[in-house]
Every structure is written in C-alpha cells, then in structure tokens.
Chain A
Amino acid sequence: MQFPKVTLERPRWTPFNIVAAIVVVVGLGITVLRFTKGLAATTNLSDYNPWGIWIGFDLLVGVALAAGGYVTSAACYLFGLKRFHTAVRPAILTGFLGYALVVLALHYDVGRPWRLPYPFIVQQGTTSLLFEVAACVALYLTVLFIEWTPAALEWLGLKRARNLVVRLTLVLTIFGVVLSTLHQSSLGALFLIAPSKLHPLWYSPYLALFFFVSSIVAGLSMVIFEGALAHRYFHHKMDEAHRREADGVALGFAKAASWVLGGYFVLKVVGVAQADAWHHLASGYGAWFLVEVIGFVLLPCFFFAIGAREKNLRIVRFTAAWAVLGIVINRFNVGLIAFNYHLPSSERYFPHWMEIGISLFIVTIGVLAYKFIVSHMPILYAHPDYEPH
C-alpha cells in the first residue's frame, strides 16, 4: 500500500486563479461579517422576503443542478445503459460537491446554523415538507459521499475498503434515486403551503412533479455541459474509454433530455389549464411565464432533438447550457420572482451584493475542489489496478 504523493505546485497566476483568489478573499471577508454582524448587515432579507438568493439560487438551483449524480447512476446501473459507465464517476463527484456546497450555503442562510441537526435529534416537525427535504438532503449527501469514496480510496490505495464500498453500488444507487425523487420534488412542494404568495401561473398542485421532472433535465444537461468543460480543460486526464464513450454519452443524454423536456412542457401547460390561469398569460408575468416555458423548455427540447438526430455535438452542448439556464430561471421564478408577486415593488427583494458574493464564493470553492479531485483521483480515467464497477 502506497499513499499518493500530493505535489503542491506553486500557484500559477492564470486569469482563472487570480479571479478565484479574489472571490475567495472577498468571500471570507463577508463570512466574517455574516457571523459577527448578522444577516441584516450582509443581506437584503426582510420580514416580507425571508428567503433570498441563498435559498433561491444556492439551495433550489444547487440541488437541481446536482441531479446529474442520481440520473447518471440510475441510467447506468439500473436501466442497464452501460455505455454511460464512464460518465458515472464525474457525475457522482459533481453531485457530491454540489450537495456539500448546498449544505455549506445553508449555514450562511439559517439564523442558527449549529442547530441544523435539530430537526433530527431534538424535535421532529414531521408535518413540514422542509423536514422531508432536510432529511433527504442529509441522507443523500451521505449516500453521494459513500458513492464517491471508491475514487478517493483508489487514490489512497486502500483496496479492501474500496471493494467493500463497490459492493454497495446497487443499494446506494436505488437509495439515491429514492431520496432524490423525494427531495427534488419536495423543494417544489415547499411552496404548496403559500398559494396566496406565489403567482398562479407558477403555483400548482403539480409543483412537486414540476421540480422532479425538471431535475432530470437539469441532471442530464449538467452531465453534458460538465462533460464538455472537462473535455476542454482536462482532456489529458481522460483515458481511452472515457474519450471513446464521451460523445455517445452526450448524444444519448441529449435525446433523453429532449424527451423529458417534451413531457415537462406538456405538464407545464396542463398546470395552467388546471389552475385555469389562462387569463394571466396576458399580463407581464404571463409574458415572462411564456419566455420560460417556450424559450427555456420548448426550444431546448427542440434543439436537443435536432442535435441528437444530426449527431451534432456542438448543438447538443450549446443546448445543454441553455437548458441549464432554463432550470435556473425556473427556480428563480418560483423562489424569488413570482413569489410575493402581490407586494408593491418597494417591498420586493433584490439581492445585496454580499449575498451574490457568498454565492460566487461557494461556486468557486466547488470549482476549485473539482479541479483538485479531478487532477489527483481516478475520476476521468479508470485506475489501472482496479476493475471498473
């Protein structure tokens, strides 16, 4: 058994590193402010707007975009699409990092972060959908961590432990899909309790279903998107199998994403019909709703289809970024833009620059962690000593 040597190269001042360094330094500064002066000093939250971008972006968007882990591992291990095998590890890694960062972000947002375990160990508010979200996120973070450990254990050369974990693959995958289904949908269901505050075009008894279905799209698109980025920047880290399968993964996922987006579009339209909210379409919110549903659901659906049919990777990758943006817009709409639509504009929320600073800080930490792990651990290549699982 031989432990790997981590060679810490001296940091090179590439533009990326400079920007990252600035964001991290500023982020640390805001962190100090947040925990010494409180939320009032660092956010624009108010009694009307208790949730800002730390929930709307960091939680709602973060969890949706980290859906690649469960989508890919389900496709590969449960639905038997083994050609996607090389996509599993990167997807699990980004999923794990995503959830870890979501939990980190929550520490900034909640008033007393050290009490975050209270819903489990002190008093269980089981009637709350937030309880369910919290329980599932906590469990799923654990599942993702275990699913990710084989890479770390291979890196560390701990063969026995690694094989033990690999044997759990099936249980973990199924458990992961169950937990993901539950909390992805429950994030939408959080807003079910406030029908008077969420605009009728977005409020729907189907909110939970909307969030779940769109999380599949988010997961598929993110895998394509991250794959494209990884190819650009970590090509040298990839092994033969990875490069060979990558295009197939992108095209296959594009086809799946197109199909799911089609279903999602129908659901969204049915949602309007069920709420009988047609007349709202003529308002400003209606126009914005149409932008979301046509511009960021229907069109990506169509372009994914073209890309998959023509086997055109450029269209597929471009559309993946587009669809991801669509998910971001949807989560922002539900959490921030169409929420409190009844309030006068003077009472509406707009993020403080420090809130944006912390969100950027957290994303940057994620990118740095990804870079480190991908550069050192067998993520984009299979470790020569181990059979792929």
Chain B
Amino acid sequence: MGGPVHSLHEFMLRTESITYILIAAALCAFVFFWRFLSERDDDRDHLGADRPGPGEGGHGAH
C-alpha cells in the first residue's frame, strides 16, 4: 500500500481499503467488548453468553 500517491482516487483507494478493514475489526471487537462489559450482570443478555431466563424481558412477548 506504499508508494507515491498522485491522485485523489489513489489516495481514497488507500484510505478506504484501510477503513474497511478497520470497520470489520471494530464490528467483531464490539461483540466481544459487549460480552466483557455485561458478563457479570445478574441478568445476562444474548451477548452475555447466557441463555435468556424464562419469561426474561428482552424478547419474550407472551
């Protein structure tokens, strides 16, 4: 990805490619970070690596 950049197009090719990689990494990281954040909560949610409790608020409708 080195080399001299002569045009806005080349510049954006570089920046956007890096951005997409960062986005992908960030989205994955979010999942784990949220898990880490709410792991110790009493009522863990779907990301908290636990089954929803019976009648649990999040999604049970009836």
Which of B20, B46, B54, B62 contacts A388, CB < 8 Å?
Answer: B62
Digitize A135-159: 1 where CB-to-B-CB distance is under 8 Å, 0 elsewhere: 1000000000000000000000000
B35 to chain A, nearest CB (A): 10
Most-contacted residue by chain B among A135, A167, A175, A178 (CB, 10 A): A167
Digitize A225-245: 1 where CB-to-B-CB distance is under 8 Å, 0 elsewhere: 000000000000000010000
A85 in the interface (beta carbon within 8 A): yes
Contact in complex: B16, A170 (CB < 8 Å): no
Which of A83, A167, A171 contacts B61, CB < 8 Å?
Answer: A83
Could you say which residues of chain B place their CB within 8 Å of the CB of A112?
none
B29 in the interface (beta carbon within 8 A): no
Q: Sort A-B residue pairs by CB-CB distance and give the 6 closest, nearest first.
A: A85-B61, A126-B16, A170-B46, A82-B61, A126-B17, A127-B12
Contact in complex: A127, B13 (CB < 8 Å): yes
Which of B17, B27, B58, B62 contacts A77, CB < 8 Å?
Answer: B58
Q: Could you list some 10 contacts between A and B, CB below 8 A?
A: A82-B61, A124-B20, A167-B46, A169-B46, A169-B59, A170-B47, A171-B31, A241-B61, A388-B60, A389-B59
Per the bound structure, the CA–CA distance linking A168 and B51 in Å amounts to 10
A268 to chain B, nearest CB (A): 29
Could you say which residues of chain A place their CB within 8 Å of the CB of B27?
175, 178
A86 in the interface (beta carbon within 8 A): yes
Could you say which residues of chain B place their CB within 8 Å of the CB of A124?
17, 20
Could you say which residues of chain A place their CB within 8 Å of the CB of B60?
82, 387-389
Contact in complex: B46, A171 (CB < 8 Å): yes
A31 to chain B, nearest CB (A): 34
Contact in complex: B59, A77 (CB < 8 Å): yes
| Additional A-B contacts beyond A124-B20, A241-B61 (12; CB < 8 A) | A77-B58, A82-B60, A126-B17, A127-B9, A163-B51, A167-B52, A168-B46, A169-B46, A387-B54, A387-B60, A388-B59, A388-B62
B45 in the interface (beta carbon within 8 A): yes
Digitize B2-41: 1 where CB-to-A-CB distance is under 8 Å, 0 elsewhere: 0000000100110011011000000100010000000000
Per the bound structure, the CA–CA distance linking A271 and B30 in Å amounts to 35
Per the bound structure, the CA–CA distance linking A161 and B16 in Å amounts to 37
User: How many residues on chain B are close to A (CB under 8 Å)?
Assistant: 20
Could you say which residues of chain B place their CB within 8 Å of the CB of A163?
51
Could you say which residues of chain B place their CB within 8 Å of the CB of A178?
27
Closest partner residue, chain B, to A77 (CB atom): B59
Per the bound structure, the CA–CA distance linking A15 and B28 in Å amounts to 50
A380 to chain B, nearest CB (A): 15
Could you say which residues of chain B place their CB within 8 Å of the CB of A127?
9, 12-13, 16
Given contacts A167-B51, A170-B45, A170-B47, contact A388 B13 (CB under 8 A): no
B33 to chain A, nearest CB (A): 13
Per the bound structure, the CA–CA distance linking A321 and B12 in Å amounts to 42
Could you say which residues of chain B place their CB within 8 Å of the CB of A388?
59-62
B18 to chain A, nearest CB (A): 9
A245 to chain B, nearest CB (A): 8
Most-contacted residue by chain B among A76, A168, A171, A175 (CB, 10 A): A171
Per the bound structure, the CA–CA distance linking A3 and B26 in Å amounts to 40
Could you say which residues of chain A place their CB within 8 Å of the CB of B17?
124, 126
Could you say which residues of chain A place their CB within 8 Å of the CB of B52?
167, 389
Could you say which residues of chain B place their CB within 8 Å of the CB of A170?
45-47, 58
Per the bound structure, the CA–CA distance linking A199 and B9 in Å amounts to 26
Closest partner residue, chain A, to B11 (CB atom): A127
Closest partner residue, chain B, to A127 (CB atom): B12
A78 to chain B, nearest CB (A): 10
List CB contacts (< 8 Å) of A330-389 with chain B. 387-389
